[in-house]
Structure 1
Amino acid sequence: MGDRPNPARGGPAGAAAAEPAGGGDRRELAVPAPVTGRIVPLEEVPDPVFAERMVGDGVALDPQAGPVIAPLAGTVTALFPTGHAVGLRTPEGVELLIHLGIDSAHAEGAFEALVAVGQQVEAGQPLIRIDLERLKAGARSPLSPVLVTNLDELGGRVAPVAQGTALAGKSVLFRVVWAGGPA
């Protein structure tokens, strides 16, 4: 975790602690990329559940290199049996979903979970080993949404930051901005 720069805060990647940003009541959390890949708007994900933000808001990545890492420190709240999706909750109360590929649950051998539900993880810690060739061969699309799933609860929004290619743990994808104290 320690020495990698975080362009959003000038500190270590994943160390973007929520802090008042201007008004004292506003909180902000920078979310780095969990996997290296090309950033794609959610509207381009070929699944209306993600494209229409039914599950949450964020961006998608077209993965180019693994593994999938924890973008921030937190607790693993969900892990699909196939290993194609993982949920995290940060100490600030922000809930993230990293969903690898579209219709990827049947991409046999594409994913190997490296964590378990309830486990505390550090920013940069590997969560899922991913075989990109098997993902591309077995999924309808490799596009992988990275979402905040509890924006309604937070009363918040996602502010996209990056474009182009994101580097896992280094490039900030978006900021979560919400009012009030901890969730």
Structure 2
Amino acid sequence: MGERSNPARGGPAGAAAAEPAGGGDRRELAVPAPVTGRVVPLEEVPDPVFAERMVGDGMALDPQAGPVIAPLAGTVTALFPTGHAVGLRTPEGVELLIHLGIDSAHAEGAFEALVAVGQQVEAGQPLIRIDLERLKAGARSPLSPVLVTNLDELGGRVAPVAQGTALAGKSVLFRVVWAAGPA
């Protein structure tokens, strides 16, 4: 299976800059996949916190190859001690959470954090080294939600783009669309 994201709608990661959408009163940010894997709707994640969008909206990936990379430039805002989840804030103010696996905090040795809270990262920079065999053995599910956690604050929504297999840093997973603030 190859990348099936629509270049006209998503394009490569290089198209990830925020752009006005429509009449200039909306902003849009393309969010590339942070890890290579099969694209899965959030509804299929076996945890209601993610499936019912209690933490945020986005999509999930069934990881097939690591490492986990920064989908966009930004600041690391959170890093769980076990390394199974990382938060980023983009310069545009979009807050992302990348959560590796379900009930994966006890997947011994599956994750190695390569960044620290407060660190500035570039798009494509490795964030977490992941041992997929240990993740699959130690987690209830390897499905990994990629979420926007501040959609209410932004007044925004997530528009899914990728289907099939997404390539880390290359396939646009989804777009975030929100109201532009005062200039």
User: Are 1:75 and 1:88, in contact at CA under 8 Å, matched by a contact in 2?
Assistant: yes
Shift of 1:7: 3.8
Shift of 1:170: 0.2
Aligned residue in 2 for 1:109? 109
User: Are 1:110 and 1:132, in contact at CA under 8 Å, matched by a contact in 2?
Assistant: yes
Q: CA RMSD in A?
A: 3.4
Between the aligned partners of 1:4 and 1:114, the Cα distance in structure 2 is 29
User: Are 1:14 and 1:73, in contact at CA under 8 Å, matched by a contact in 2?
Assistant: no
User: Are 1:50 and 1:145, in contact at CA under 8 Å, matched by a contact in 2?
Assistant: yes
After superposition, the Cα gap between the structure-2 partners of 1:163 and 1:155, relative to the gap in structure 1 and judged at 3 Å, is: same
After superposition, the Cα gap between the structure-2 partners of 1:182 and 1:125, relative to the gap in structure 1 and judged at 3 Å, is: farther
Shift of 1:2: 22
Which TM-score applies when normalising by structure 1? 0.93
Aligned residue in 2 for 1:50? 50
User: Are 2:63 and 2:144, in contact at CA under 8 Å, matched by a contact in 1?
Assistant: yes
After superposition, the Cα gap between the structure-2 partners of 1:62 and 1:141, relative to the gap in structure 1 and judged at 3 Å, is: same
Between the aligned partners of 2:169 and 2:67, the Cα distance in structure 1 is 11
After superposition, the Cα gap between the structure-2 partners of 1:37 and 1:11, relative to the gap in structure 1 and judged at 3 Å, is: closer
> Which consecutive unaligned segments of at least 5 residues does structure 1 have?
none
Matched-pair identity in %: 97
User: Are 1:115 and 1:128, in contact at CA under 8 Å, matched by a contact in 2?
Assistant: yes
The number of residue pairs the alignment matches comes to: 183
Between the aligned partners of 1:179 and 1:88, the Cα distance in structure 2 is 20
Q: What is the DSSP-based 3-state SS (H/G/I as helix, E as strand, rest coil) of the residue aligned with 2:14?
A: coil
User: Are 1:14 and 1:32, in contact at CA under 8 Å, matched by a contact in 2?
Assistant: no
User: Are 2:12 and 2:172, in contact at CA under 8 Å, matched by a contact in 1?
Assistant: no
Between the aligned partners of 2:150 and 2:167, the Cα distance in structure 1 is 25
After superposition, the Cα gap between the structure-2 partners of 1:103 and 1:10, relative to the gap in structure 1 and judged at 3 Å, is: closer
Shift of 1:27: 0.2
**Higher RCO by CA contacts (8 Å cutoff, separation 6 or greater):** 2
After superposition, the Cα gap between the structure-2 partners of 1:88 and 1:8, relative to the gap in structure 1 and judged at 3 Å, is: farther
Q: What is the DSSP-based 3-state SS (H/G/I as helix, E as strand, rest coil) of the residue aligned with 1:163?
A: coil
Q: Which runs of 4+ in 1 moved over 3 A?
A: 1-12
Between the aligned partners of 2:100 and 2:88, the Cα distance in structure 1 is 14
User: Are 2:162 and 2:172, in contact at CA under 8 Å, matched by a contact in 1?
Assistant: yes
